[in-house]
Amino acid sequence: MKPCTLALCGCAVAAAAVLGPSLYAQRGSDLPAGPPVQVTANGRTWTQQQLFQRNIGGADDQTAQFPPHKIIGSVYYVGTRSLSSYLITTPQGHILVNSTYERNVPTIQKSVEQLGFKFTDIKILLGSHAHGDHMEGDALVKQLTGAQVMALAEDVPALRAMQPGGKPHPVDRVLKDGESVTLGGMTLVAHLTPGHTRGCTTWTMKVQDGGRTYDVVIIGSLGVNPGFKLVNNTDVPQIADEFLRAFKVSRSLQCDVPLGSHPGMFNMAEKYAKLGIGGPNPYIDPAGYKAELDLDETMFHAVLAAQQKAASQASVAPTAEIKVLSSTALKGVLEELVPQFERATKHTVVIQYGTAASLKRQIEQGQPFDLAVLTLAAMDDLIAQGRIAAGTRTPIARSGMAMAIRTGARRRDVGTTDALKRALLDAKSIAYAGEGAAGVYFTALVQRIGIAEALKPKSKVTASGLLVGEAVVNGEAEIGILPLSEILPIRGVEVLGTFPMEVQGYAVMVGGVSAGAKAGAAAHHLLEFVTAPDALPVIKKKGMERG
Ligand SMILES: [Zn+2]
């Protein structure tokens, strides 16, 4: 399976954890949703979501080590594929910029050591901004190295609230805008570039390489995360002005080598690939710095304009009834999120659940609806038929495939493919929904592992996931095959296990707005609501993960 392509920001997730309910207040949920904001800069078109996704990557990108390497002079990359960490070495010890998530600290340590440096030689720890994907690991890095943690004053309150595992966030020196941090002949200057967070910090330094001096800039972040409120933001009423200040400051900086808190901000993968093939250092890219500022600033103004327009229309926004056709895999999630949405918007949401295949047939037969939540395949088919508006296709969440047994029933080992095979061959009976995502996956799986024929006589194929649950509860089936998210709400069953990693599959749930929607804007809005960063805890609780 392809790793997740959907957007859920490390940044915003972390912010939700840090800010709790106050982040909710920053979302645009009291505004009617318009079409997605889209801009063209440097000859390429981006939606707000795509730009955000470019930065944070998929879940794997946030944790997988990127090959550690020298960027220029004494500046090295030691981060993951989508979360930047920089090591700046000096004869008197080193400076680390960005600890990223706490779980990434061992990876950063490994990268530092692979470059031939000692992690314990890190004397100073800095960060890009007070979001967990950049600075959650500060306490652990300090614990391992004794480094002094320094941050701009404006980010200190948010940092103090960041306490992974209950550990207080260390801040040893509070910096003012424009202040310098010096170690072993290297000087880094902290520039306040607020907006993304109150104390979002762009670091600059002069670096020697090959007898020349280069201006290096580590962009803190100039991004407006999806759902972030620029208009009527009660927490920071002047938020738009803060972003404008960040653009002004960023444009005033000399830059030969643009870097950033996410590698996507300076096309690191592309530049890294060019290293060692001769020619000038690909990281020297003043035009790339300007292009990134142009893109971020264009996006900021587009998002601001869209929110201003929505706000001016909000007072006359009518309430609507939204008809939703949803795969049962997302039932648990919608049952929790939809009432919140209804309270926030005064819209009414009417949902019909079923297998993706049966809902797809209803749509093909002309059943009216506003929003559909289906498997990828069903969604793409309906888009091809012109029944769902292509631009609205949005991954919501995915659920791993799992096995259910009656509560208290005998548990079998399903931890490896061999054990799984034995368990399925030994089971008295197995149930799955023939047209459900799990049924389709399971049919292909047993074919692939060569036990399809052996299972046939004892397989019960049902018309829905609900009937699979019933068969397990009343003992007609010993094992029921369902997406994990569908097992959790069923009373009287328990999860035997998810499928072993090497054969695991996912039911990816994708939302799309009907091409003939009556309540199109409200349906858009609902789709944004369930894909907003705030929805992630609910998605996780219901046994799902981001698409
Ligand atoms: Zn962030």
Topology of the domain covering 50-311: Metallo-beta-lactamase; Chain A (3.60.15)
Q: What is the mean pLDDT of residues 521-543?
A: 92
User: In this predicted structure, what is the pLDDT of residue 534?
Assistant: 87
How far, in Å, is the centroid of ligand 1 from the Cα of 129? 7
| Tokens matching residue 182 | 């010096």
How far, in Å, is the centroid of ligand 1 from the Cα of 472? 45
How far, in Å, is the centroid of ligand 1 from the Cα of 389? 31
How far, in Å, is the centroid of ligand 1 from the Cα of 222? 9
How far, in Å, is the centroid of ligand 1 from the Cα of 96? 18
Torsion of CA 197, 292, 2, 373, to 10 degrees: 60
Domain with CATH 3.60.15.10 in the chain: 50-311
How far, in Å, is the centroid of ligand 1 from the Cα of 265? 13
Q: What is the mean pLDDT of residues 451-459?
A: 96
How far, in Å, is the centroid of ligand 1 from the Cα of 147? 23
Whether the per-residue pLDDT at 282 is higher than 50: the answer is: yes
Pairing of strands 212-219, 257-260: parallel
User: In this predicted structure, what is the pLDDT of residue 437?
Assistant: 86
Distance CA(133)–CA(52), nearest Å, equals 13
Whether the per-residue pLDDT at 18 is higher than 50: the answer is: no
Name the band, by pLDDT with cuts 50, 70 and 90, for residue 546. confident
How far, in Å, is the centroid of ligand 1 from the Cα of 196? 6
pLDDT digits (tens, 9 = 90+) for 65-96: 999 999 999 999 999 999 999 999 999 999 99
- Model's pTM, two decimal places? 0.57
pLDDT digits (tens, 9 = 90+) for 334-353: 999 999 999 988 899 999 99
- Does the domain at 315-397+508-541 match CATH 3.40.190.10? Answer given as yes
Burial class (CB in 10 A: 0-12, 13-18, 19+), 408: exposed
User: In this predicted structure, what is the pLDDT of residue 148?
Assistant: 98
User: In this predicted structure, what is the pLDDT of residue 317?
Assistant: 59
Superfamily per CATH, domain 399-506: Periplasmic binding protein-like II (3.40.190.10)
Q: What is the mean pLDDT of residues 210-226?
A: 96
Domain with CATH 3.40.190.10 in the chain: 315-397+508-541, 399-506
User: In this predicted structure, what is the pLDDT of residue 232?
Assistant: 86
How far, in Å, is the centroid of ligand 1 from the Cα of 393? 25
How far, in Å, is the centroid of ligand 1 from the Cα of 145? 25
pLDDT digits (tens, 9 = 90+) for 147-201: 999 999 999 999 999 999 999 999 999 999 999 999 999 999 999 999 999 999 9
| CB of 245 closer than 8 Å to CB of 196 | no
How far, in Å, is the centroid of ligand 1 from the Cα of 131? 5
Burial class (CB in 10 A: 0-12, 13-18, 19+), 384: exposed
Whether the per-residue pLDDT at 418 is higher than 70: the answer is: yes
Give percent above pLDDT 70 in the chain.
93
How far, in Å, is the centroid of ligand 1 from the Cα of 56? 9
Name the band, by pLDDT with cuts 50, 70 and 90, for residue 315. low
How far, in Å, is the centroid of ligand 1 from the Cα of 221? 7
pLDDT digits (tens, 9 = 90+) for 234-261: 889 899 999 999 999 999 999 999 999 9
Cα 117 from chain centre: 32
Pairing of strands 493-498, 459-462: unpaired
Pairing of strands 38-41, 44-47: antiparallel
Ion ligand 1: residues, Cβ under 5 Å: 11, 131
How far, in Å, is the centroid of ligand 1 from the Cα of 158? 12
Helix axes 520-531, 331-345, angle to 10 degrees: 120
User: What's the whole-number average pLDDT of the chain?
Assistant: 91
Name the band, by pLDDT with cuts 50, 70 and 90, for residue 456. very high
Lowest mean pLDDT, pick from 29-38, 88-97, 105-114:
29-38
How far, in Å, is the centroid of ligand 1 from the Cα of 175? 19
Instruction: Residue 407: count other Cβ atoms within 10 Å of its Cβ.
Output: 12
How far, in Å, is the centroid of ligand 1 from the Cα of 299? 16
| Residue 195 φ/ψ region, left for φ over 0, alpha for ψ in the -120 to 50 degree band, beta for the rest | left
Q: Where are the alpha helices (DSSP H) in 197-354?
A: 239-252, 268-274, 286-314, 331-345
How far, in Å, is the centroid of ligand 1 from the Cα of 80? 15
Whether the per-residue pLDDT at 29 is higher than 60: the answer is: no
How far, in Å, is the centroid of ligand 1 from the Cα of 51? 13
Whether the per-residue pLDDT at 21 is higher than 50: the answer is: no
Q: What is the mean pLDDT of residues 374-399?
A: 92
Q: What is the mean pLDDT of residues 23-29?
A: 36
Whether the per-residue pLDDT at 30 is higher than 70: the answer is: no
Q: What is the mean pLDDT of residues 294-308?
A: 95
How far, in Å, is the centroid of ligand 1 from the Cα of 54? 13
